[in-house]
Amino acid sequence: MNPPSPFETDVIVLGAGAAGLMCALTTGGRGRSVVVLERAERPGKKILVSGGGRCNFTNLHATADNYLSDQPDFCRSALARYTPQDFVALVEAHGVAYHEKKLGQLFCDGSSREIVELLMAECRDARVHVLTGHDAQAVTRAEDGAWTVDTARGRFRAASLVVAAGGVSWPKLGGSDVAYRLARQFGLRIVPPRPGLVPLTFGGETLDLCAELSGVALPCARPAQGTRAFHENLLFTHRGLSGPAVLQISSYLPPGDTQAEVTFDLLPDAPPDEDWLADAHRRGQEAHLASVLSERLPTRVAQAFARPLGNARPLRQYSPRALAALERRLRRWTLRPGGTEGYPKAEVTLGGIDTRDLHGKTMQARQVPGLFFIGEAVDVTGQLGGFNFQWAWASGHAAGEAV
């Protein structure tokens, strides 16, 4: 559709992702006229691929503690006013079947498409115009405060502009830096963006090991001394490590610190005070080291970790010290990542619009009335597990109530 140009509404929302659609349906539901400009040919592309096609659409336990931000308290207000239960109520009202996979993570039973369909149905009911194939190319603000957005397919004017253009991760799915550029244009500060929830890459011997074990997954935990607990899977890849445990830890690596280390406990279910291998040695185990290790580790991992000690001997022939050292290594496998797989593989972008320049209750820019930023574009980033969508819904709703 090419609407009349200029097309005048109360509100322009820039981006038809999770945050933009939630904002649009909320403000449209209040009787405001809204147009959503989306440069892709369809709305909600990230929703469609999320959660392996089943969209982990929220997390029942979401609190501010699940988010990274330079201002950790900023997200509290929006999260408190639109909770996981609010989104669940919407999902249930549309008859979308869902289940809790684990740890409060809610997924569709069927397909992520159902989440996009419910958001679009709500937008239709609220008479929101969602215009795909509309790339916002230039934004200006008139002296009376009105906003003009130019696209190749026409000009749009409104009293308020909500920027919901996401972060720069996964450019193939719409990631762009337009939110940051607009923030700078209107004087807001930016917390330097960086890839989050991203696979880690390694060099040298660690890379050789990862490549050899590529495709193998195993449960691991962060050792007790770590600041954030997790107990999730680690996946070996041709370039390094991935899987939920690694994605989670990647967001907490200090930016730019090439000496930063990550530590994994590869025996997360073993009692911490147990001396597993030393005890087996004392019992005079006849089994070979690799086969003893494979009682608790995938066979290929067991073989790879036993190899430096020579894995084809009965356990009783090893020195207790060497076995204790191996067990320590498995419980505290410490590595120094060479880097990450970067934005093309990062589920989220950390950093973004500096929250010191936004009102937490409304998401409006403190110094620019009528300008709002929501969703991943803002310096609020969730852990893995449905927290990022919950932030998109909550921040979109906060702006939608205010705009």
For ligand FAD, the closer CB: 289 or 348: 348
Assess contact for 350 and 326: CB atoms under 8 A.
Answer: no
The yes or no reply on residue 221 touching ligand FAD (CB under 6 A) is: no
For ligand FAD, the closer CB: 170 or 305: 170
As measured in angstroms, the least distance from the Cβ of 255 to ligand FAD is 19
For ligand FAD, the closer CB: 221 or 363: 363
x/- binding map, residues 12-51, to ligand FAD, per CB under 6 A?
A: --xxxxxxx----------------xxxx----xx--xxx
* Helix/strand/coil for 168: coil
The yes or no reply on residue 86 touching ligand FAD (CB under 6 A) is: no
Alpha-carbon torsion angle 41, 46, 48, 54, nearest 10: 180
For ligand FAD, the closer CB: 318 or 389: 389
The yes or no reply on residue 164 touching ligand FAD (CB under 6 A) is: yes
Rg (CA), the chain: 25
Residues 223-242 that bind ligand FAD (CB under 6 A): none
Amino acid at 208: D
Stretch that binds ligand FAD, among 229-237, 285-293, 305-313, 370-378 (CB under 6 A): 370-378
Nearest Cα neighbor of 116 from 47, 167, 40, 67 is 47
Nearest Cα neighbor of 87 from 22, 43, 135, 40 is 22
Among 74, 386, 397, 402, indicate the residue that binds ligand FAD (CB under 6 A). Answer: 386
Q: What letter does residue 55 receive in the DSSP assignment?
A: -
For ligand FAD, the closer CB: 114 or 265: 114
As measured in angstroms, the least distance from the Cβ of 165 to ligand FAD is 4
Stretch that binds ligand FAD, among 163-171, 198-206, 216-224, 235-243 (CB under 6 A): 163-171
How many CB atoms neighbour CB 137 within 10 A? 11
- Residue that the structure tokens 């997200």 belong to: 75
Among 160, 340, 383, 388, indicate the residue that binds ligand FAD (CB under 6 A). Answer: 388
For 64-77, the DSSP string reads: GGGEE-SSTTTTHH
H-assigned helices in 283-319: 289-293, 299-306
Residues 308-367 that bind ligand FAD (CB under 6 A): 347-348
3-state secondary structure 222-275: CCCCCCCCCEEEEEECCCEEECHHHHHHHCCCCCCCCCCCEEEECCCCCCCCCC
Beta pairing class for 231-236 and 240-242 = antiparallel
Residues 259-278 that bind ligand FAD (CB under 6 A): none
As measured in angstroms, the least distance from the Cβ of 368 to ligand FAD is 19
Among 9, 26, 27, 56, indicate the residue that binds ligand FAD (CB under 6 A). Answer: 56
For ligand FAD, the closer CB: 154 or 314: 154
330/274 Cα distance (integer angstroms): 13
Among 90, 123, 136, 330, indicate the residue that binds ligand FAD (CB under 6 A). Answer: 136
As measured in angstroms, the least distance from the Cβ of 270 to ligand FAD is 31
The yes or no reply on residue 306 touching ligand FAD (CB under 6 A) is: no
For ligand FAD, the closer CB: 179 or 330: 179
As measured in angstroms, the least distance from the Cβ of 262 to ligand FAD is 21
Token pair recorded at residue 36? 């959503």
Beta-carbon contacts of 307 under 8 Å, excluding residues fewer than 6 positions away, are 290
Instruction: Kindly tell me the burial class for residue 214, based on how many C-beta atoms sit within 10 Å of its own C-beta (0-12, 13-18, 19 or more).
Output: middle
The yes or no reply on residue 88 touching ligand FAD (CB under 6 A) is: no
The yes or no reply on residue 166 touching ligand FAD (CB under 6 A) is: yes
20/37 Cα distance (integer angstroms): 9
The yes or no reply on residue 176 touching ligand FAD (CB under 6 A) is: yes
Assess contact for 80 and 40: CB atoms under 8 A.
Answer: no
For ligand FAD, the closer CB: 198 or 234: 198
- Residue that the structure tokens 């409060």 belong to: 104
Residues at the contact surface with ligand FAD, assessed by CB under 6 A: 14-20, 37-40, 45-46, 49-51, 55-56, 135-136, 164-166, 169-170, 173-174, 176, 178, 347-348, 375-377, 386-389, 392
